[in-house]
Amino acid sequence: MLSYFTKPHSIHGSLRKLNDSFYNYSFRILRICFSPILRQRRLRAIDTLTLVNEELVTEEENVARLQECDHVILKEKCSYYLVNSEFQETLVAAIVVASGFVTEL
- Residues 10-30 have pLDDT tens digits of 555 555 665 566 666 666 777
Q: How far apart are CA 61 and CA 4, in angstroms?
A: 77
The per-residue pLDDT for 14 is 56
pTM over 0.85: no
Spatial contact of 22 and 10, defined as CB atoms under 8 Å apart: no
Q: How far apart are CA 52 and CA 78, in angstroms?
A: 38
Q: How far apart are CA 38 and CA 60, in angstroms?
A: 33
The per-residue pLDDT for 1 is 46
Domain boundaries, the chain: 8-104
Instruction: Specify the higher pLDDT residue, 87 or 105.
Output: 87
Integer CA distances (angstroms), 85 to 59, 60, 77, 78, 97, in order: 41, 39, 14, 13, 19
